[in-house]
Structure 1
Amino acid sequence: MPSSRTAVPPRQHLTSLMYALPVRRLKEILIHVFPNETLGPIEELKSSQLARLYSLTMSDDRKLLLSFAPSLSVHLLRHEAAILSSEAKLAYFITGSDQNRELQKPSSRQDAPVPKHTALAALVPKILKHASNNREMAYPYSIFEPTLGVPLSTISIYLSLPERRLIDKQIGLMARALASLTPPSSNFGAVSRILPDPFSTTPTPTELETKGSKLWSEAFHGLLEGVLRDGEDKAVLLPYEIIRAHYKRWSYHLDSVLVPRLVVLDISNDRNVMVERGLDEEGALKAPAEGVRLAGLRSWSQGVFGDPLLADCFDNPSESCLEGWREGGQDIIEDEDNAPVRMLLYRCFRAVVTIVTEYYRPQSDSSRRELEGRRKLTSALAEIEKLGTTVSDAPKRTRSVASDAGGSKRQKVGPRN
């Protein structure tokens, strides 16, 4: 049974915005970005994300988004330590890769064309300025031209079934489009380690050759071991040795993943998915389901180059999400016969992250989230226990892994937890 504890509500802001944010320094920075404009009103945005978000209005009514590093009082997990740097690198990388894809499209026929509404450049905020150190404004920060939309969690209960199916399908399409991107090097690992910093004044190209892991099993082990140590640091009650033993026993299946592909771990989290309701791309509302569209993600900080199946959209996905994945291009999942074994290890990882996060940053509904995470962890561990001692003893699937990603349960369409 999980140890009992009292959920602590989020800490209230006790200081004024003008005191907490170095506005004068911000104005000086923006002069270099937009020489002919001045900074107008500033509004702090309520968000469940780790970064502190501010809406900036320029003198020409242009809207910008300032992403400020979490305060020192916010406890981060090990894989969250470089969230601002990771997001800035990934936004820059995706935007450049998407533009290159458009230029090369006539001569490249490897992947099926990505539908307009999932063109990656339109889903990722354009980054204008980033500083990974605290010399300019006491904390690392990024300034974006934001994408439109609101978090799916705020309107999910108002969506019709066709609208929710459409969003799920677009999430599948986005996940497939991201998975078509590979890193400059052939290494696996977190985006913060693999991608160079395009805003660094002292670039070191040779660093790319030494960062990351040559094997996916090593990179995933770093992620898994990191969150297990986070749990141990807080004395969270978890079956640590059992999880480590299962990883050691089955990790060789991860080495069948040879191509590091871009994965955003929380790509289908309702609090991270941004949606927009209104007219479709042609300016007309032809059907109810066309009045809502995927606008992108609030945070792009959880990027990893590895196995696409690590993304949370494969954790009990809806059939609409899988349909979008399949329509996004040719099948790219490697070693499909043993993919179910890998997915059990990923389910353990995601469940542990859910549990440990609630101990690091308790909220009013932490008990519910923790218990859901424990339920998923128990289920995944029980399935791993049923696996045989050899590959041939592992459960075999006759269909594509994308079709079986949700397990034996009937696929459900509706808001996720």
Structure 2
Amino acid sequence: MSSPRTVVPPRPQITSHMYSLPVRRLKEILSHVVPTANLGPVEEISSTQLPRLYQLNMSDDRKLLLSFAPSLMTRLLRQEAAIISSEATLVHFIAGTERTLERAVSPCSEIDTPGSKTVSNLIPKILKSSSNNRELAYPYTISEPTGGVPLSTLSVYLSIPERREIDKQIGSMARALASLTSPTGTFGTVSHVLPDPYGKNSGPQAALPSPPVGCKKWSEAFNLLLEGILRDGEDVLVLLPYAIIRAHCRRLSWHLDAVTIPRLVVLDVSSERNVMVERGGEDCASYSGKEIKMTGLRSWSLGAFGDPLIADAFDKPSEGFLEGWNGGGESVVEDEKNVGIRLLLYRVFSAAVSIVTEHYRPQIDSSRKELDGRRKLTSVLAELEKVDLIPCDVLKRGRRPSGEEMV
């Protein structure tokens, strides 16, 4: 983890972005979660992710991770509204299908080689999670982290073979996750498809989690995602070609219905800020490609059941990623002949997210990131304008939504 600093004890410095931890209440919760150890120093972990992270140093030398929901002062996108509960729900689901995951990984995958962790070990072990604010004022999760540091802190030091190795491991993990399908048969984000296993009410009137809904078609689920980010932009008056984007989506979203199996995908599975890695050995000169490995993801909150191609890695997939993805066995991509149109729609969504995010949470380099996003959006919209000019034999896949036979 990246350079933690002690905040309790002594008394933490409270800023607009920090939350004064209720240490007494935290100790009480931990006494039930880890009854054989006591809470020692608590350290804030510097992170670019939305959740506020703290390392809990226990008296038995265990180091646990406390994830808090973002401060109320942090403006969230619609897709980020329930990141703590979404992450806990997804990790719980994956842990429950551990055997399925392990069978899904190719025997030759570098993730599952001697001395390396299996895919099932790339998820944290959740000890306690709460999706309400009754216990610690914010939703939170206490877990045993998988370790490592964000790839963004190490990427400039990696050799070309080492980076290819990490990309390959990311591809292998993404392929293994795609082997998991929605247990309800519906499409949508994890929070819309799966019940929250940690969301039960306490007391004699405790009720089971409300049944998930989800969408019957992938086009419906994707439209909800896209419309969500567009409304986020409209809420803060971000200048975007909303009418054009919506028109293209209405015109072409029927292509998304070729996806009939809702497969698990983590939208930011290849983000350098999200991928966690570790290197072995002391001497940097002795590193080789096989001595670096991915340890997991910092956040599992952006999970969804749908088309695996919506993941950020498929925007401009590296050779290493494709090697890992294609090494996972039989293809799980449906209607491969027309994936190009689906990818264009996903790129519109990705570009819109990158632009709007910089307005919600401006950073030092926000202007550059927003400009990159706008260039990407302009380019992909220009490509979408040409879709009707594609020869019919390329698009020949039965009927249009109107029932008109395609020639």
Alignment of 1:256-405 (within 5 A): 256-278=258-280, 288-388=288-388, 392=392
Q: Deviations over 1:120-175 (max 9, x none)?
A: 22111111100000000110000010011100111111101110010011111111
**Distance in 1 of aligned mates of 2:97 and 2:207:** 20
Match of 1:254 among 256, 264, 268: 256
Kindly indicate whether the alpha-carbon contact (under 8 Å) linking 2:17 and 2:73 is maintained by their aligned counterparts in 1.
no
Residue range with higher mean Cα deviation, 111-120 or 145-154? 111-120
How big is the shift at 1:200?
Answer: 3.4
- 2:160 corresponds to which letter in structure 1? L
**Distance in 2 of aligned mates of 1:239 and 1:362:** 21
Match of 1:240 among 227, 239, 242: 242
Local SS of the residue matching 1:37: coil
Unaligned runs of 5+ in 2: 1-12, 201-205, 397-407
Alignment of 1:11-410 (within 5 A): 14-15=14-15, 20-102=20-102, 105=103, 112-113=106-107, 115-116=111-112, 117=116, 119-201=118-200, 202=206, 204=208, 207-208=211-212, 211-278=213-280, 288-388=288-388, 392=392
How big is the shift at 1:204?
Answer: 3.5
1:66/1:289 CA distance change after superposition, 3 Å: same
Local SS of the residue matching 1:135: coil
How big is the shift at 1:95?
Answer: 1.5
Aligned residues: 372
**Distance in 1 of aligned mates of 2:27 and 2:326:** 46
State the partner residue of 1:6. Answer: none
Unaligned runs of 5+ in 1: 1-12, 280-284, 397-417
**Distance in 2 of aligned mates of 1:268 and 1:347:** 15
Kindly indicate whether the alpha-carbon contact (under 8 Å) linking 1:236 and 1:359 is maintained by their aligned counterparts in 2.
yes
How big is the shift at 1:14?
Answer: 3.9
**Distance in 2 of aligned mates of 1:376 and 1:259:** 29
Kindly indicate whether the alpha-carbon contact (under 8 Å) linking 1:118 and 1:170 is maintained by their aligned counterparts in 2.
no
**Distance in 2 of aligned mates of 1:364 and 1:133:** 33
Kindly indicate whether the alpha-carbon contact (under 8 Å) linking 1:129 and 1:144 is maintained by their aligned counterparts in 2.
yes
**Distance in 2 of aligned mates of 1:361 and 1:180:** 34
RMSD over aligned Cα, in angstroms? 2.3
Higher relative contact order (CA 8 A, sep 6+): 1
Percent same amino acid at aligned positions?
63
**Distance in 2 of aligned mates of 1:76 and 1:16:** 16
1:112/1:159 CA distance change after superposition, 3 Å: closer
Local SS of the residue matching 2:330: coil
How big is the shift at 1:377?
Answer: 0.7
1:277/1:395 CA distance change after superposition, 3 Å: farther
Kindly indicate whether the alpha-carbon contact (under 8 Å) linking 1:98 and 1:119 is maintained by their aligned counterparts in 2.
no
How big is the shift at 1:362?
Answer: 0.2
How big is the shift at 1:100?
Answer: 4.9
Could you tell me the TM-score, scaled by structure 1's length?
Answer: 0.85
How big is the shift at 1:205?
Answer: 6.7
1:206/1:260 CA distance change after superposition, 3 Å: same
How big is the shift at 1:379?
Answer: 1.1
**Distance in 2 of aligned mates of 1:224 and 1:17:** 29
1:148/1:379 CA distance change after superposition, 3 Å: same
Local SS of the residue matching 2:387: coil
Stretches of 4+ moved more than 6 A in 1? 16-19
Q: Deviations over 1:347-396 (max 9, x none)?
A: 00000000000000000010111111111111111111111167726589
- 1:207 corresponds to which letter in structure 2? P
Kindly indicate whether the alpha-carbon contact (under 8 Å) linking 1:277 and 1:293 is maintained by their aligned counterparts in 2.
yes
- 1:343 corresponds to which letter in structure 2? L
